[in-house]
Amino acid sequence: MSVSERLFVYGTLRPGDCRWGLLAPYVSDDGIADTVNGTLYDTGLDYPAAVFGGDGVIRGMHFGLVDGTREQALRELDIEEETVDGLYRRVRLTTVSGAEVWAYEYGSGLDLTVIPSGDWFDRD
């Protein structure tokens, strides 16, 4: 699959969290657990922030997106991510396993606390 066909999620878009319902209708598979290089932060607003690159590790999953609705899914997620504090933007990444994916990266303007585990589900 090409980069435009997969989305890496690390926070509230993961299965079991509050925003999974936004993504679920558009996924074409069960997802693959993977990691990307970067640092994961707690925003204190019930969602995380990711800054990609560097030596840290962010844990998450990537999902294939359904061909016929892929562009719609990305448009809707772009709008959703731009409405939250921190002004997230969609970027292209390569995961540690070598998958090419889209992911949402933090912009600026929030007070952040590092999540040492790199996993939103293991932040306490």
Q: What is the DSSP string of 40-74?
A: EEE-SSSSEEEEEEEEEEEEEEEEEB-GGGHHHHH
Three-class SS of residue 96? coil
Structure tokens at 65: 């997106």
pLDDT at 4: 61
Q: Which residue has the tokens 């294939």?
A: 64
**pTM value?**
0.93
DSSP state of 16: T
Structure confidence at residue 54 (pLDDT): 92
Q: Exposed (0-12), middle (13-18) or buried (19+): which is 107, by Cβ within 10 Å?
A: middle
Q: Which residues contact 109 (CB under 8 A, 6 or more apart)?
A: 85, 86, 87
What local confidence, expressed as pLDDT, does residue 56 receive? 97
The pLDDT of residue 112 is: 97
All domains in the chain, ordered by first residue: 3-116 (3.10.490.10)
Per-residue pLDDT of the chain (124 residues; tens, 9 = 90+): 444 699 999 999 999 999 999 999 999 999 999 999 999 999 999 999 999 999 999 999 999 999 999 999 999 999 998 888 888 999 999 999 999 999 999 999 999 999 999 999 999 8
